[in-house]
């Protein structure tokens, strides 16, 4: 089962050959990284990584994250060579073409063996922190017998230079995630040229200062690589291994320079590389003996998996782990019953508080929920009695103090969700969704069930002023495909949002919540036994007089819309109030439902304390009441009045349009 050391060189060259051939055929791509890290990857896969090509979703496999996702051919080559069903050699031949799963950057939703979608620099590394955290959490819950694996990362200079790296390193160091091992492709080259152009950092020194184990190796010396990886695996701290490599290793005239990073080698240099490497096989062909060596590696993992399957079958915890890893929710409707009882109340609370109330119901019932906040626990109201702290001393906890690390938190949550067995939710102020916006995007792209708790959602936060007042954020989040953006209007809609978010297996959700109190608008009479938010929008109040106006609002402005409707009805003007907590779910309804809510020939008016751009989709040439400028610093009620969010200022505008 163990590979003769003399075979490692040819095996690594198979990665190099496939990589340069695929990039050349596509006339697009990045040969430098796969060729430079081929030796390190060969040692990792042949001697360390626990994997079974026959079962890419086996829950106790090691996770391998190619954080430097532009080097995608590295992972495609590895998966193909080791015998995964996907990608096929045909896929690799069609690298970067529309009908191939071998996309420009590795995409988890196209290939089961790709653990996460990488390319946006720094985020693969940070997702790996989340995977390693999920592993320790599940280990603490299910024991070494069922959960005992590592997370291995290949990262480049870009991953380490990005700001998110500081957050990921700090989080991993504080949580002592010793099962996380990062192999840094230390090639001293970035796109612009030598790394010295832009950095003078002692990287190992920085990692050591954050509680990491650090090691170095010659990234082209198999024995030295194996030594360093063994050290990393043995150390109880997270590890960074600096693998000193030559970018594009094997391309005799281009290796070591920045031009080999992101362009095909060209036919001449490919030919020169083949000669240099002694590689005589035709393009996309791997000699049978070398392929056989690669294919033999899966046996170690297959054996481990068989043993694990036996343990899982014998364990009284096996079924529960399987449920969590499958992403199925626990059976029962206890939560729904509790929330239904709330309809009889009249709870005037901030929706951030309503969110906490909903979490107090859900977290005891859904043990895979793991919460947290980027240092705003008391403001985001994200911690419940069922979620004790998850710390280095006790990984069984369910609440992560992420620190002042919004981007790191979001990416870690992506990693936790993609690892499986965990439903992560985490909080920050809505305005700081900007800090983690690309990770939210990656939640959506990766189909990851991550729940963002975004509080302090408008000028309603008051005195903290425009730096902290979201204006464009709700609408901006609605722009991201496959993201459900909920802006609930009261305690009931908040509970509905949580139920829908937890149940959305392949879609992340953003819950947009107020700082200020909101009255309860929903009761049994206007709920009709339904989870009304599931349709995205619904008629909260039907016109009494002849309908001339439909008021559309979300969140804190639904209360105002109800008051405006009352004032209009007082003048004999019928007005519906439509609450629209989730546009994405509304857009998915059938045409008849949508047309019923938004009938033609009636003045439609939107009210939302944010930018109006976007509301025209629903109001057409109607009226948009919003805030198309930055806010100001003052108490909330002063600001709402000042910026025109009052019955007195809105009704005349509607009357003018009706005149």
In the complex, the smallest distance separating the C-beta of residue 210 from its own copies, rounded to whole angstroms, is 5
Other CB atoms closer than 10 Å to residue 88's CB: what's the count? 14
Helix (H) or strand (E) holding 605: strand 603-607
Distance in angstroms (rounded) separating the CA atoms of residues 433 and 448: 17
- Give the C-alpha separation, 595 to 33, whole Å: 53
Interstrand relation of 189-190 and 193-194 (parallel, antiparallel or unpaired) = antiparallel
Q: 629: how many CB neighbours lie within 10 A of its CB?
A: 10
Whether 158 has a binding-site annotation, put simply, is: yes
Give the H or E element holding residue 289.
helix 288-296
Q: How far is the CB of 116 from its own copies (least distance, A)?
A: 11
Rounded CA gap, 634 and 460, in Å? 10
Backbone angles phi, psi at 517, to 5 degrees: -70, 145
Q: Smallest distance, Å, CB 375 to its own copies?
A: 5
Distance CA 642, CA 638 (A): 6
Establish whether 506 is an annotated binding residue: no
- Closer to its own copies by CB, 220 or 261: give it: 261
DSSP tally for the chain: helices H, then strands E: 27, 20
**For its own copies, which is the closer residue by CB, 260 or 565?**
260
Q: Look at the alpha carbons of 173, 58, 299, 143 in this order and tell me if their dihedral is positive or negative.
A: positive
Is 149 one of the annotated binding-site residues? no
Give min distance, CB of 258 to its own copies, in A: 9
Is 379 annotated as ligand-binding? yes
**β-sheet with 369-373: strand ranges across:** 399-401, 369-373, 423-429, 451-455, 509-512, 484-486
- Closest approach, Cβ 257 to its own copies, in A, equals 13
Nearer to its own copies by Cβ, of 317 and 437: the residue is: 437
Nearer to its own copies, 250 or 626 (CB): 626
Q: By the 8 A CB rule, do 61 and 301 touch?
A: yes
Nearer to its own copies, 438 or 527 (CB): 438
In whole angstroms, the minimum distance from the beta carbon of 166 to its own copies comes to: 3
Provide, rounded to whole angstroms, the least separation between the CB of residue 54 and its own copies: 27
Q: Is 72 annotated as ligand-binding?
A: no
Residue of 219, 92, 132 whose CA lies nearest to 422: 132
CB 14 → its own copies: shortest distance, Å? 23
**Any binding-site annotation on 437?**
no
Which one, 333 or 463, has the nearer CB to its own copies?
463
**Which CB atom, from 139 or from 190, has the smaller least distance to its own copies?**
190
Tell whether 30 is in a known binding site. yes
Closest CA to 290 of 48, 37, 33, 6: 6
Query: Is 175 one of the annotated binding-site residues?
Result: no
* Residue 250 counted as an annotated binding residue: no
Residue 231, H or E segment? helix 222-234
The DSSP element (H or E) to which 402 belongs, if any, is none
90 belongs to the catalytic site: no
In the bound state with its own copies, the residue whose beta carbon lies nearer, of 191 and 275, is 191
Closest distance to its own copies from the beta carbon of 373 (Å): 7
**Residues paired with 189 in a beta bridge:** 194
CA-to-CA separations, 167 to 89, 159, 278, 579, 599, in angstroms, rounded:
38, 12, 44, 38, 49
269-301 in b/e form (b: 16+ CB < 10 A) is: bbebbbebbebeeeeeebeeebbebbebbbebb
325 vs 430 by CB, closer to its own copies:
430
Residues 315, 633: Cα–Cα separation, whole Å: 58
CA dihedral 255→257→260→262, nearest 10 degrees, is: 150
Closer residue to its own copies (CB): 152 or 583: 583
Residue of 107, 162, 269, 406 marked catalytic: 406
Instruction: Confirm or deny that 468 is annotated as ligand binding.
Output: yes
Q: Is 364 exposed, middle or buried (0-12, 13-18, 19+ CB in 10 A)?
A: middle
Buried b / exposed e over 439-475, threshold 16 CB at 10 Å, is: bbbbbbbbbbbbbbbbbbbbbbbbeeeeebbbbbbbb
Provide the minimum distance between the beta carbon of 121 and its own copies in the complex, in angstroms, as a whole number: 6
579 annotated as a binding-site residue: no
CB 552 within 8 A of CB 578: yes
Helices (H), 381-517: 406-419, 437-445, 473-478, 491-503
- Confirm if 443 and 414 have CB atoms less than 8 A apart: yes
Does the annotation flag 137 for ligand binding? Answer: no
Tell me: is residue 293 an annotated ligand-binding position: no
C-beta of 31 vs 173, nearer to its own copies: 173
**Minimal distance, residue 515 CB to its own copies, in Å:** 11
| CA distance linking residue 446 with residue 448, whole number of Å | 5
Whether 432 has a binding-site annotation, put simply, is yes
User: Catalytic residue numbers?
Assistant: 406
Annotated binding site: 30, 70, 119-121, 157-158, 187, 189, 261, 352, 379, 432, 456, 464, 468, 515
Annotated binding site for Mg(2+): 157, 187, 189
Annotated binding site for substrate: 30, 261, 352, 379, 456, 464, 468, 515
Annotated binding site for thiamine diphosphate: 70, 119-121, 158, 187, 261, 432
């Amino acid at each position: 089962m163990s590979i003769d050391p003399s075979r490692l060189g040819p095996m690594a060259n198979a990665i190099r050959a496939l990589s340069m051939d695929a990039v050349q055929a596509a006339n697009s791509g990045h040969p430098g990284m796969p060729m430079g890290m081929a030796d390190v990857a060969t040692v990792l896969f042949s001697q360390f990584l626990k994997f079974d090509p026959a079962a890419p979703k086996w829950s106790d496999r090691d996770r391998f994250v190619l954080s430097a996702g532009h080097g995608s051919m590295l992972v495609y080559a590895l998966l193909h060579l080791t015998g995964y069903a996907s990608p096929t050699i045909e896929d690799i031949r069609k690298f970067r073409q529309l009908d191939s799963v071998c996309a420009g950057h590795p995409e988890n939703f196209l290939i089961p063996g790709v653990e996460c979608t990488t390319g946006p620099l720094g985020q693969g590394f940070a997702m790996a922190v989340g995977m390693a955290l999920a592993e320790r959490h599940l280990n603490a819950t299910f024991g070494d017998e069922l959960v005992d694996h590592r997370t291995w990362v290949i990262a480049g200079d870009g991953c380490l230079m990005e700001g998110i790296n500081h957050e990921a390193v700090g989080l991993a160091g504080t949580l002592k995630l010793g099962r996380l091992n990062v192999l840094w492709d230390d090639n001293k080259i970035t796109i612009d040229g030598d790394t010295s152009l832009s950095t003078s950092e002692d990287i190992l020194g920085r990692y050591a200062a954050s509680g990491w184990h650090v090691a170095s190796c010659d990234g082209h010396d198999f024995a030295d690589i194996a030594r360093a990886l063994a050290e990393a695996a043995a150390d109880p701290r997270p590890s960074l291994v600096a693998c000193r490599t030559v970018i594009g290793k094997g391309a005799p005239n281009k290796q070591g320079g920045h031009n080999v990073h992101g362009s095909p080698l060209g036919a001449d240099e490919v030919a020169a590389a083949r000669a240099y490497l002694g590689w005589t096989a035709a393009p996309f062909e791997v000699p049978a003996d070398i392929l056989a060596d690669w294919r033999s590696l899966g046996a170690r993992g297959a054996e481990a998996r068989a043993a694990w399957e036996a343990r899982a079958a014998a364990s009284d915890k096996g079924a529960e782990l399987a449920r969590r890893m499958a992403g199925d929710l626990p059976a029962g409707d206890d939560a729904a019953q509790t929330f239904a009882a709330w309809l009889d109340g009249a709870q005037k609370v901030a929706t951030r508080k309503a969110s906490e109330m909903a979490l107090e119901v859900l977290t005891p019932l859904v043990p895979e929920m793991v919460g947290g906040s980027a240092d705003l626990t008391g403001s985001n109201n994200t911690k419940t009695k069922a979620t004790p702290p998850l710390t280095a001393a006790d990984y069984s906890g369910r609440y992560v103090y992420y620190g002042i690390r919004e981007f790191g938190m979001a990416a870690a949550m992506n990693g936790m969700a993609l690892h499986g067995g965990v439903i992560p939710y985490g909080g920050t102020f809505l305005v700081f969704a900007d800090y983690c916006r690309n990770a939210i995007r990656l939640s959506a792209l990766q189909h990851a069930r991550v729940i963002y708790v975004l509080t302090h959602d408008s000028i309603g936060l008051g005195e903290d002023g425009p730096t902290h007042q979201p204006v464009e954020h709700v609408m901006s989040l609605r722009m991201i495909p496959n993201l459900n953006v909920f802006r609930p209007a009261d305690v009931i809609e908040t509970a509905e949002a949580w139920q829908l978010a937890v149940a959305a297996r392949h879609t992340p959700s953003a819950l947009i919540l107020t700082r200020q109190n909101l009255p309860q608008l929903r009761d049994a009479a206007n709920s009709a036994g339904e989870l009304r938010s599931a349709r995205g929008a619904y008629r909260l109040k039907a016109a009494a007089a002849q309908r001339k106006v439909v008021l559309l609002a979300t969140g804190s402005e639904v209360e105002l819309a109800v008051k405006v409707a009352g004032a209009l009805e007082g003048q004999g003007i019928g007005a519906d109030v439509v609450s629209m907590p989730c546009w994405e779910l509304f857009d998915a309804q059938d045409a008849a439902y949508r047309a019923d809510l938004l009938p033609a020939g009636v003045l439609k008016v939107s009210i939302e304390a944010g930018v109006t751009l976007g509301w025209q989709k629903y109001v057409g040439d109607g009226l948009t009441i919003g805030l198309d400028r930055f806010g100001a610093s003052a108490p909330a009620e002063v600001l709402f009045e000042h910026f025109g969010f009052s019955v007195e200022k809105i009704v005349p505008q509607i009357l003018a349009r009706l005149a």
